[in-house]
């Protein structure tokens, strides 16, 4: 079992930077905290993990991919609640001006500082006077809630409108609901996923890839009818899983049992936990360092019905890498209320119902000219009024008050056959932090061994996501070995889904070591014999085994 330590972390981080996997961005210009590059090796790793994630969820059969802008107008994120809620508490050092997160300052003093209120944080800071992480002084300004979205302005001059960089990809799936619903020919359940950048203007980023200001997200919004009892096949997962349940604490059981016992409160949440586990293990997460933790009721968003984090253990301890939340009807309802548009699905009753209608509606001939653009909203509101309502009556429509006179309305009293009804679908959302997952799969696959008395490191990446599939090595750069190696290399590069690297510098042993260090599963060596017999040596990273293979029988 790997022993995580800060020394190992420093060596791993150094290797990742030196080999061009992950490195601080814009470093020649002094860098910028919380911004990272995926370099010449990491770029393809990011791409493959991302694409593997998309393929994995699309294989459900009723999930589509969409792609929305990252620049988002103010009203969208006001409706979603991000303008009001997406914030941390900040305080500035009076000496050096550096901003710090208030809860970070008292982490050593309080076990759960993140959950404290502004006043509690203020009291603890003035009592304990923690030092500024930047200058060491202890003089703190006011604590203020700081919204964590990156601000920008869409458009130029005075006609420019306020906007933000999206804090999550999820809102795109909600604002596009109508299009997705139509695509699936109005049949639930279905899902839409999106991968791409998310942004969070962290007050003081730290912990490398764990807390970024710009990150790679991957989210699925899965829309379901809350009245349908979904049956999922949990026989796919016979293994026992570590669960930290809200009430029961740590338990080890199968996902199927946890759903049956009601510990996981919705079967689709449990099913997606299994689907999530499959993905994480496929890309190289070690199951010994994986657990699912249920949010406590006071930690969960008020609208959420259940939420489980997949937590992965690595050099930074246990880190939340995926959240699987049952969000109820919160999001679609929020956008409905803000826009007046219908974001609903139609449910056909198994048999028509007779409904007694007893109330009011508008008289179109009078109400139309009187209320113009608001006429539709006035009609809906009037139809909600109880039969005993007296007119004139003042309605609140959005932010305006509308006076309804007796002449605008008609009494309605009848029974009606109704075939079905509109309802707001519920949403189950698995949300993945791709950077955190990439960090941990690197952390788990990195091993330090000794070879012929020297330190030797190896990345045991699964072939599915290894950024380089194969390296081609001429034994020497002469006698045509380099030409033949280049021909093989270029042919491999031309194949879909194969990425080859040509390496001619240094001894073969050094080149094998270089390939092992970044987790290349296979090496091909072209030697003198290759020139006459068209065979090469194929070496496996994992077994070290070398076999002689004909060039046209290479397994790529």
- Under rule CB under 8 A, residue 42 binds a second copy: yes
Complex with a second copy: residue 40 or 462, whichever CB lies closer: 40
Q: Pick from 423, 427, 425: which is nearest to 268 by CA?
A: 427
Q: Pick from 171, 161, 150: which is nearest to 79 by CA?
A: 171
Q: Are 433 and 276 in contact (CB under 8 A)?
A: no
Candidate list 2, 9, 15, 35; residue touching a second copy; CB under 8 A: 35
Provide the minimum distance between the beta carbon of 419 and a second copy in the complex, in angstroms, as a whole number: 17
Q: Please count the other Cβ atoms lying within 10 Å of the Cβ belonging to residue 394.
A: 8
Complex with a second copy: residue 38 or 316, whichever CB lies closer: 38
- Under rule CB under 8 A, residue 303 binds a second copy: no
Q: Are 63 and 479 in contact (CB under 8 A)?
A: no
* Span of 3-11, 224-232, 333-341, 409-417 interacting with a second copy by CB under 8 A: 333-341
Interaction residues for a second copy, span 457-486 (CB under 8 A): 486
Q: Pick from 334, 335, 345, 337: which is nearest to 424 by CA?
A: 345
Complex with a second copy: residue 57 or 308, whichever CB lies closer: 57
- Under rule CB under 8 A, residue 145 binds a second copy: no
Q: How far apart are CA 459 and CA 447, in angstroms?
A: 6
Burial of 125 (0-12, 13-18, 19+ CB in 10 A): buried
Which residues, including other chains, have CB under 8 Å from residue 384's CB and lie 6 or more apart?
359
Which residues, including other chains, have CB under 8 Å from residue 159's CB and lie 6 or more apart?
none
- Under rule CB under 8 A, residue 348 binds a second copy: no
Interaction residues for a second copy, span 487-506 (CB under 8 A): 489-490, 493-494, 496-497, 499-500, 502-505
Q: How far apart are CA 487 and CA 498, in angstroms?
A: 15
- Under rule CB under 8 A, residue 290 binds a second copy: no
The phi-psi region of residue 157 (left if phi > 0; otherwise alpha if psi is between -120 and 50; otherwise beta) is left
Which residues, including other chains, have CB under 8 Å from residue 288's CB and lie 6 or more apart?
1
- Under rule CB under 8 A, residue 176 binds a second copy: yes
Interaction residues for a second copy, span 83-122 (CB under 8 A): 90, 92, 97-99
Which residues, including other chains, have CB under 8 Å from residue 38's CB and lie 6 or more apart?
21, 22, 45, 46
Complex with a second copy: residue 250 or 463, whichever CB lies closer: 463
- Under rule CB under 8 A, residue 180 binds a second copy: yes
Give the DSSP letter of residue 340.
-
The 63-82 site mask, x for binding a second copy (CB under 8 A), equals -xxxxxxxxxx-xx--x---
Provide the minimum distance between the beta carbon of 176 and a second copy in the complex, in angstroms, as a whole number: 6
Look at the block and give the residue holding tokens 């008609």: 410
Candidate list 115, 129, 297, 339; residue touching a second copy; CB under 8 A: 339
Q: How far apart are CA 541 and CA 470, in angstroms?
A: 10
Provide the minimum distance between the beta carbon of 183 and a second copy in the complex, in angstroms, as a whole number: 4
Q: How far is CA 535 from CA 246, 530, 549, 552, in A?
A: 60, 5, 5, 8
Complex with a second copy: residue 189 or 367, whichever CB lies closer: 189
- Under rule CB under 8 A, residue 368 binds a second copy: no
Complex with a second copy: residue 305 or 457, whichever CB lies closer: 457
Candidate list 51, 297, 419, 534; residue touching a second copy; CB under 8 A: 51
Q: Are 282 and 462 in contact (CB under 8 A)?
A: yes
SS3 string, 163-189, reads EEECCCCHHHHHHCHHHHHHHCCCCCC
Complex with a second copy: residue 112 or 159, whichever CB lies closer: 159
Provide the minimum distance between the beta carbon of 67 and a second copy in the complex, in angstroms, as a whole number: 4
Q: How far apart are CA 169 and CA 137, in angstroms?
A: 39
Candidate list 150, 393, 423, 456; residue touching a second copy; CB under 8 A: 150
Candidate list 130, 167, 172, 521; residue touching a second copy; CB under 8 A: 172
Complex with a second copy: residue 309 or 469, whichever CB lies closer: 469
- Under rule CB under 8 A, residue 153 binds a second copy: yes
Q: Please count the other Cβ atoms lying within 10 Å of the Cβ belonging to residue 543.
A: 7
- Under rule CB under 8 A, residue 12 binds a second copy: no
Sign of torsion, CA 44 50 53 59?
negative
Provide the minimum distance between the beta carbon of 68 and a second copy in the complex, in angstroms, as a whole number: 5
Provide the minimum distance between the beta carbon of 346 and a second copy in the complex, in angstroms, as a whole number: 13
* Span of 188-196, 274-282, 378-386, 540-548 interacting with a second copy by CB under 8 A: 188-196
The 397-416 site mask, x for binding a second copy (CB under 8 A), equals --------------------
- Under rule CB under 8 A, residue 211 binds a second copy: no
Return the biggest CA–CA distance within the chain.
101
Candidate list 2, 9, 116, 154; residue touching a second copy; CB under 8 A: 154
């Amino acid at each position: 079992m790997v022993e995580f330590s800060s020394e190992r972390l420093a060596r791993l981080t150094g290797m990742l930077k030196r080999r061009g996997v992950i490195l601080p961005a814009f470093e020649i210009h002094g860098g910028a905290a919380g911004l990272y590059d995926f370099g010449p090796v990491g770029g393809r790793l990011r791409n493959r993990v991302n694409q593997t994630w998309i393929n994995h969820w699309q294989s459900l059969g009723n999930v589509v991919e969409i792609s929305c802008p990252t620049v988002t107008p103010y009203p969208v994120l006001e409706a979603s609640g991000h303008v009001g809620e997406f914030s941390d508490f900040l305080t500035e050092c009076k000496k050096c001006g550096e901003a710090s997160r208030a809860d970070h300052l008292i982490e050593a003093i309080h076990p759960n500082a993140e959950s404290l209120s502004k006043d509690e944080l203020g009291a603890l800071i003035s009592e304990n006077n923690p030092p500024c992480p930047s200058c060491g002084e202890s003089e703190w300004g006011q604590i203020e809630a700081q919204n964590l979205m990156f601000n920008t302005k869409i458009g130029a001059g005075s006609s420019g409108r306020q906007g933000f960089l999206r804090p999550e990809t999820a809102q795109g799936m909600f604002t596009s609901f109508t299009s997705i619903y139509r695509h699936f020919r109005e049949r639930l359940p279905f899902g839409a996923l999106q991968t791409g950048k998310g942004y969070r203007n962290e007050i003081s980023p730290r912990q490398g890839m764990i807390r970024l200001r710009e990150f790679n997200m991957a989210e699925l919004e899965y829309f379901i009818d809350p009245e349908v009892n979904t049956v999922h096949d949990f026989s796919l997962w016979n293994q026992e899983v570590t669960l930290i349940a809200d009430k029961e604490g740590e338990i080890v059981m199968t996902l199927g049992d946890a759903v049956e016992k009601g510990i996981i409160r919705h079967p689709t949440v449990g099913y997606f936990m299994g689907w999530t586990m499959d993905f994480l293990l496929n890309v190289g997460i070690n199951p010994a360092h994986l657990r699912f933790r249920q949010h406590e009721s006071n930690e969960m968003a008020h609208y959420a019905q259940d939420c489980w984090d997949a937590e992965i253990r690595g050099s930074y301890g246990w880190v939340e890498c995926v959240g699987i939340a049952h969000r109820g009807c919160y999001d679609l309802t929020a956008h409905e209320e803000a826009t007046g548009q219908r974001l609903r699905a139609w449910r056909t009753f198994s048999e028509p119902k007779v409904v007694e209608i007893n109330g009011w509606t508008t008289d179109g001939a009078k109400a139309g000219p009187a209320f113009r653009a608001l006429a539709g909203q006035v009609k809906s509101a009037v139809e909600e009024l109880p039969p005993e309502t007296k007119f004139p009556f003042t309605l609140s429509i959005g932010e305006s008050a509308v006076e309804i006179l007796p002449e605008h309305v008609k009494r309605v009293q009848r029974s009606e056959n109704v075939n079905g009804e509109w309802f707001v679908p519920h949403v189950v959302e698995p949300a993945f932090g791709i950077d955190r997952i990439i960090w941990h799969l690197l952390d788990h696959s990195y091993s330090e061994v000794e070879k012929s008395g020297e330190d030797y490191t190896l990345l045991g990446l699964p072939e599915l996501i290894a950024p380089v599939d194969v390296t081609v090595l001429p034994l020497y750069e002469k006698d045509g070995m380099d030409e033949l190696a280049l021909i093989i290399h270029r042919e491999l590069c031309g194949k879909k889904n194969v990425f080859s690297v040509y390496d001619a510098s240094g001894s073969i042993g050094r080149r094998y070591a270089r390939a092992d260090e970044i987790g290349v599963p296979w090496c091909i060596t072209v030697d003198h014999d290759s020139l006459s017999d068209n065979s090469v040596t194929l070496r496996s990273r994992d077994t070290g085994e070398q076999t002689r293979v004909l060039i046209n029988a290479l397994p790529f």
